[in-house]
Chain A
Amino acid sequence: MTDAAVNDVSVDTRKSGRFLYGASVVFLCAWVIVPIYFLLINTLSSPETVNSFPKPFIPEFDFGSLQFFAGFSGMLTALKNSVIVALLTMIMSIIIGAPAGYALSRFDFPGKGLFRMLILLTRAFPLPLLALPLAVMFIQTGLDDTAFGLALVHTTLAIPFAVLITFSLFSGIPIELEEAAWTLGCTRLTAFTKVVLPLILPGITASAIFAFVISWNEVFAAAVLTIENRTLTAFLLQNLDTSPLHLKFAGGFILVVPALIFIFAVRKYLFAMWGIANR
């Protein structure tokens, strides 16, 4: 065999390898996108088309299903409740979580290990289950069936993430910057608000969005803790047996849309957030 033949073989295998690689990337992208596309077709079709067979593979851009969704009694209230609960969760988890993230990144203090342990422990628990005993406690305190009560439970879900994410964000900002500000006459507080905060703000926004999505998507606790003021997920779950197909698909689509936007907004931080957070 000559050298040329050997080279040909290796070029061939490399070429087919690259083709296989490219094909699997495309396949895996399709695996994620195609099911969402199917949901989109159903959402943008008239109720009759949704219930007919066979299905078209291109949307007909009919807003009948979405109109039906908007007109379905209680649906818009549920949508509003979902947004309120998610916003409350977002605000609470950042306000409560970020200071702890700062403390973990800047100080060494006795009990730090124990505190980290408490945070990590919450991740090893199926937290939505804790909504069961809270249902009783909320009735006693008048928090039952309120957006605030549910937001408290969702904050418990989001807080471990908020603490660990802000911890990794603060760790990315050298303490020397703060120290320089102190020597230039800043107090600890003004050094934080004038130097650290502007640098950290995009990251904080990203983790706030993450908290929003956690609450927006949560089903079990929402279904357990709300009765009249159902969130969108709880409302859809409760009506799964009885609602027509086009209502389910339109509702599912409304649930998906914020996810698409939010993941796009936080994509830069997604990996940085997890890189340090899981050590």
Chain B
Amino acid sequence: MNARILPYVLILPVTLFLCLFFIYPFVLVSQQAFQAADGGWSMENFQEVVEYWKFPISMKNTLLLAAIVVPVQLALALLMATMVSKMKKGRDMVLYIWTIPLGISDLAAGIIWLAIFEQSGFLNSMLHGIGVVDKPVNFLTYQNPWIVFLAIALAEIWRATAIMLVILVAGIGLIPKEYYEAADVFGASKWKQFTRITFPLLRPSLQTALVLRVILAFEIFAVVAALGGTLFPVLMGQTYSYQFDLLNSGAAAAMALIILGISIGFTLIILRILRVPKGASI
């Protein structure tokens, strides 16, 4: 086949598929969100979801969770990635173990941490074993909102640090070793090597990792459903209950657009802060 047409033939399936299942639904959801009950254009749906009493709480919970979880994950992933890059023996084994959570769904992660935090769970058993408590404490109730928050944050950090780790390890692997050798020759400390070589050259990977993670952080849903239930409302959970419990797809669409808007806003901010100067990539 003609080499001029061939690439277009090859990318056609993906393009068609994404038009049908990515761009078209996006148009549909926007239409649904701006449609009033009588069929005209209006902001009714947005007004309804924003004025609902749970909206400010779920917004606050989602943002707070992202603000705490993502930086911790970033620091942890950077630490793990630098530790692994110096490792000689057992590197593959350690990397395999550290990336296991990558394949674990958020629902399963929620259930795993439920095994620890529930009333007859392992945290209580441990506390009982060392004599701190006599009878099991029920941690996941509305009286302990901070423990619920902690459990959800820990489950998220446990589950989703791996994706950042993989991206960062791959990124560090692309940095030429000569830079570090030169830094050693000039007597730069390990910390200086990290801040002056690793960090700047890792910027494209950091960009990808952060964008991916932040968007996933706003999508948090099943971990919360497993650990907090209705105790800890989040945006995605509200969207789900609009669609299913209240059968209000207009409101669900409005929620979806709000989450989309926040995600895109943060993506742009991250891309701007960590932008790679033209021609400065490796």
What chain B residues lie within 8 Å of A155 (beta carbons)? 17, 21
A127 at the interface (CB under 8 A from B): yes
A-side contacts of B147, CB under 8 Å: none
- Which B residues are in CB contact (< 8 Å) with A42? 115
Task: Provide the B128-148 mask, 1 if CB < 8 A to any CB of A, else 0.
Answer: 110000001000000000000
Secondary structure dominating the interface of B? helix
- A residues 106-139 with Cβ under 8 Å of B? 106-107, 109, 111-112, 115, 118-119, 122-130, 132-137
Say whether A278 contacts B205, CB under 8 Å. Answer: yes
Q: Are B122 and A96 in contact, with the CB atoms below 8 A? A: no
Instruction: Mark contacts of A53-93 with chain B using CB atoms, 8 A cut-off: 1 yes-contact digit, 0 otherwise.
Output: 11101000000000000000000000000000000000000
Among B21, B169, B281, point to the contact of A134 (Cβ < 8 A). Answer: B21
- Interfacial chain B residues near A260, Cβ < 8 Å: 100, 103
- B-contacting 9-mer, from A8-16, A21-29, A194-202: A21-29
B152 near A: Cβ within 8 Å? no
Taken together as a complex, chains A and B put the C-alpha atoms of A224 and B174 apart, in Å, by 41
Known: A115-B15, A159-B17. A39 touches B239 (CB 8 A): no
8 Å CB contacts to B: which residues of A193-243?
A: 213, 216-220, 223-224, 233, 236-237, 240-241
The contact sample of 7 A-B pairs, CB cut-off 8 A, is A129-B259, A132-B243, A218-B105, A220-B236, A258-B103, A275-B170, A278-B171
Show the binding face of A for B, using Cβ within 8 Å.
21, 24-25, 28-29, 31-33, 35-36, 38-39, 42, 50-55, 57, 95-97, 99-100, 102-104, 106-107, 109, 111-112, 115, 118-119, 122-130, 132-137, 152-153, 155-156, 159, 163, 188, 213, 216-220, 223-224, 233, 236-237, 240-241, 245, 248-249, 251-252, 255-256, 258-260, 262-264, 267, 270-275, 278-279
